[in-house]
Amino acid sequence: MRDATTPGGTARGGFASGRGFVRRRRFALHGTRLLLACGVIGPVVFWVLGGVAAATWPGYDVITDSISSLVHAPLGWLQVLAFAIGAPLTLAWAVGAGRVIGVAARDRNIVRAVFAIQAAIALAFALLPTDAAGAPMTVVGGLHLLTFYVYAVSTPISLAATAWVFGRDPAWRPWARPTAGAAALMVVATLLVPLTISGPLEAWLGLLERIYVAIPGAWQAVVALRALRASRSA
């Protein structure tokens, strides 16, 4: 048997170790790409399932009626599923984004945290459906409304925090301003929310709510696609 300390033994051991490192790196890279892909899949699944639930509910108006009310549609379980699936997909995206965004451990932890919060909110929406139109508010319905307020506050903060992380990362710095712009749009949308509740914009509730959800969803999908392209060239 050749001793591992001999030149030949050392070369063989080093070669095997090198191959193991390459395999582990490839496995980790594939895992990261899968996690990043969840950032694209999540918004698409949400809108497809919600769209089917809306299209099969006679009388439902996407301009006037809220997204949450779709849980009471004939296929309302699809909307519940959209929220439920969105939670693990967003959490997976949080893990993947935390691997490729940020120059310091603190920055990467911020990215993971802000998207993990969004995943928790999606799960809360699935577990706490809104009350039916015209029905008295229940405890569950009240918690659903509280979850919406948490979403309204946390989403622009999440985008602003990510914009700050982008600004510190040379690879992502060009995305800092667009992300800050998305955060500003969310603030404007949040300020319009009271006007859709027994206010002058009540008839536009459904449309404004969809815009409200589409801003962070579209941002996430675009950023995830960019991260996927970057990972392929790594």
In a domain, 121, yes or no: yes
In a domain, 212, yes or no: yes
Q: List, for residues 109-119, the tens digit of each pLDDT value.
A: 999 999 999 99
Of 206, 234, 208, nearest to 59 by C-alpha is 206
In a domain, 209, yes or no: yes
Average pLDDT over residues 82-108: 95
> 158 and 94 in contact (C-beta within 8 Å)?
no
Q: Where are the alpha helices (DSSP H) in the chain?
A: 7-55, 76-100, 105-127, 139-168, 176-192, 205-232
Task: Tell me which of 126 and 5 has the higher pLDDT.
Answer: 126
- Taking residue 83's Cβ as centre, other Cβ atoms within 10 Å add up to 23
In a domain, 200, yes or no: yes
Lowest average pLDDT, out of 6-15, 65-74, 173-182, 217-226, goes to 6-15
Residue 105 has pLDDT above 50, yes or no: yes
pLDDT of residue 162: 97
Tell me the pLDDT of the chain averaged across its residues.
88
Task: Tell me which of 182 and 3 has the higher pLDDT.
Answer: 182
In a domain, 82, yes or no: yes
In a domain, 83, yes or no: yes
What domain range includes position 222?
A: 38-232
Cα-based torsion angle of the residue sequence 90, 93, 97, 98 in order, rounded to the nearest 10 degrees: 80
pLDDT of residue 194: 80
pTM of the predicted protein model: 0.83
Count: domains in the chain: 1
Lowest average pLDDT, out of 131-135, 178-182, 193-197, 207-211, goes to 193-197
pLDDT of residue 31: 87
In a domain, 55, yes or no: yes
Of 144, 131, 118, nearest to 43 by C-alpha is 118
In a domain, 3, yes or no: no
Cβ neighbors of 202 (< 8 A, separation 6 or more) are 195, 196
